[in-house]
Amino acid sequence: MHIYNTLFTQTTVGSRIAKNRFVSQPMEGNDADKGKVSPRTLQRYKELAQGNWGIIIVEALSINANSLARKNQLVLHESTLASFKNLIAEMKAIDPDTLILLQITHSGRKSGKAFSHPTALYEPEPGEHLLTTEEIQQIQNEFIHAVLLAEQTGADGVDFKLCHGYLGCEFLRPANIREDKWGGSLENRTRFFREAIIAIRKELTSDTFILGSRISYYEGIRGGCGTAAADDPVENLEEMDAIISMMAELNFDYINVSAGIPGVTSEITRPTPTSKWFYLHQFRYARRARRFAGSMKVIGSAFSVLQEGSLEAGVENIERGDIDFVGWGRQTLADPLFPKKVLLQESVDYCKLCSGCSRLMVKQEPVGCIIFPR
C-alpha cells in the first residue's frame, strides 16, 4: 500500500467523484490575452492537467473587465467563452477524470489602479466608488450569468469567491453597515450569494454541476469576516459559522476554507518561513468548518509551507475527519505534477517559500515559480 494511501482514495463532491484528495488551489497567473486564455495560460493548465490532481480549481476569473485585480486577469464573458471552452477541452483530453472548477470573482475595492475601486462597504476610502443598490444588483446578475457561462465551458463546477477581501467577501463583513438590502443584518450581508445560488440552480442545465465557495474564516482586520462587530478586530467566528451553515442548507457541494487578505494580512493566507505557525490557524478553521458543513465537503488550505510534511499533515487532517481534501497553492507552481510524482514515488520540486510568485503578482507580471520555472 502507498505510504500516503489516504490521499489517493476517491470520494464524492456533490454527485461527482474526485479520484483523490489532492486539490490544486486557484492561483492567478496574470497572463490573459485581453481577458482570454492566452497560450501561456493554456500551457500552465495543460501541465497541471498532467499532474493527476483530484480537483483543479482554475484561478479567479473576473465577471467583467471593470473589476480586475490584475491587469492581465482572466475574464469569463461571452467574448472570452470560446477560449475557456478550448481550455477545458484540452485539459479533459489530457485527464478526463480530474474535476475542473472555475473560480468566479469580482475584485471590489481590490480592483487595480486603472479601475474605480468599487466597494460595497458603507464608508468608502478616498478614490473608492461606493456601489449603489442597483449596481450591486447588476453585479449579482453578472455573477449568475458567469456561472451559467462556466457550465457552457464544459467545466465540472464553479467556486464562488467569497474570500481574501474581494467583493464577495466585503458583503459578509460586520463592517458592511450599508443601509440598503445588501448590508446591516446578517440576512442582508449574505443576500448576494444566497439569492445568486438559488437563481443559478434554477438555470443550470445539469444537476451534477458542482457549486462550492471559498471563504476567509477570519480576515484579521477590524470588522472583517470572523469578527463580532464593525469596530472589532478580535477573532469571533460565530457569524462565519452561521454563514457556513447557510451554505450547507443551500446545498453547496463544498466549502474551501481559507483565511486572511493577501496584501493586508498575507501571513494568514499564505504562511512563510517566518510565520510558519499560521498554518495551525488554517487547520483550526478547517476543523471548525466541518462542524457546520453538514454534507458539504471541506477543502483545507495553506499546506505549502509544510513542504514535504504537507503530505503527512494532509493524511492526518483527513483521518481526523477535519477535512476531505488537501489544498495546495504555491506548491502547484513549484511542481504542477506533484500528486502524480507522489503516487509514483518520484522526486518532487517542493516550494521553497521564497514568495517570488507573490512578488510577480504584485508587480503585475505573469506569475510563476522563480525557483523552478516552467
Ligand X SMILES: Cc1cc2nc3c(=O)[nH]c(=O)nc-3n(C[C@H](O)[C@H](O)[C@H](O)COP(=O)(O)O)c2cc1C
In the bound complex, which residue of the shown chain has the CB atom lying closest to ligand X? 329
Please state, in angstroms and rounded to a whole number, the distance separating the CA atoms of residues 140 and 269: 26
- CB nearer ligand X, residue 167 or residue 305: 305
For the record, the C-alpha cell of 286 comes out as 478547517
Beta strands 22-24 and 55-62: pairing type?
parallel
Return the range that interacts with ligand X (CB under 6 A); candidates 144-152, 193-201, 283-291, 299-307.
299-307
Asked if 358 touches ligand X (CB under 6 A), the answer is yes
Return the range that interacts with ligand X (CB under 6 A); candidates 23-31, 47-55, 120-128, 188-196.
23-31
DSSP class of 162: E
DSSP class of 62: E
Task: Draw the binding track, 306-345, toward ligand X (x: CB under 6 A; -: no contact).
Answer: ----------------------xxxx--------------
Provide, rounded to whole angstroms, the least separation between the CB of residue 364 and ligand X.
Answer: 12
Asked if 21 touches ligand X (CB under 6 A), the answer is no
Question: Closest Cα partner for 212 from 261, 162, 168, 167?
Answer: 162
Give burial (CB, 10 Å; 0-12/13-18/19+) of 352: middle
Question: Closest Cα partner for 348 from 319, 311, 297?
Answer: 311
Asked if 361 touches ligand X (CB under 6 A), the answer is yes
**Would the CA dihedral through 304, 309, 312, 317 be positive or negative?**
negative
Number of residues counted as binding ligand X (CB under 6 A):
26
Query: Do 23 and 299 contact (CB within 8 A), yes or no?
Result: yes
Asked if 86 touches ligand X (CB under 6 A), the answer is no
Task: Draw the binding track, 46-65, toward ligand X (x: CB under 6 A; -: no contact).
Answer: -------------xx-----
Asked if 175 touches ligand X (CB under 6 A), the answer is no
**Would the CA dihedral through 88, 89, 90, 93 be positive or negative?**
positive
- CB nearer ligand X, residue 173 or residue 178: 173
Task: Note the residues at the interface with ligand X (CB under 6 A).
Answer: 25-28, 59-60, 103, 163-164, 214, 258, 269-270, 301-305, 328-331, 357-358, 361, 367
